[in-house]
Amino acid sequence: MTEVTFYFFGILTLASAIFILITKNVLHAALSLVVTLLSVAALYVFTNAEFLAVTQIMIYVGGIVVLIVFGVMLTNDVSGKTIISGSVNRLSGTIITLTVLVMLIYSGQELTPIATKVHNTASIENLGEHLMTTYLLPFEIAALLLLIALVAASIIAGHDLQSKIS
């Protein structure tokens, strides 16, 4: 049953990623990106990388894709038309994609499976404990820098709005 679920999420990841490439509607592509990123997070869970799965959901799905969707929705209201994107350089993109695919398949055949199972000693609990004890100062400095960047970005955006209004 675990293999079936793993293959389901793998196929879902590939299908939604291909849909991103072939759709012309930017909003549909952004929503398909949500499905792709969530299924990649599910694949992280299967590899016992829970922290990466949670990070994938919080940062990419919760932040970046929501920002893209809001940007698309806000720009749709300005012009009143649906945003359609076109494709350029299809031939060179196809050649590069097939070259990378052949290289990945060739390098994958050279790998030998590891006979022993690697024990995962890093867990979310250990990471959280280290972040709140050993690495508390760098963690707080990073949070402070992100806060400063957020405030600076809002001030810069406010100045741009003031100059457009005046």
What whole-number distance in Å separates Cα of residue 8 and Cα of residue 2? 10
Dihedral over Cα of 76, 80, 81, 82: its sign: positive
In the DSSP assignment, the letter for residue 48 is T
The C-alpha torsion from 140 through 143 and 148 to 151, rounded to 10°, is -140
Say which CATH architecture domain 1-99 belongs to: Up-down Bundle (1.20)
Would you say residue 72 has pLDDT above 60?
yes
State the pLDDT confidence band at 2, using cuts at 50, 70 and 90.
Answer: confident
Domain boundaries, the chain: 1-99, 122-166
Which phi-psi region, left, alpha or beta, contains residue 48 (left: φ > 0; alpha: ψ -120 to 50)?
A: left
pTM of the model: 0.63
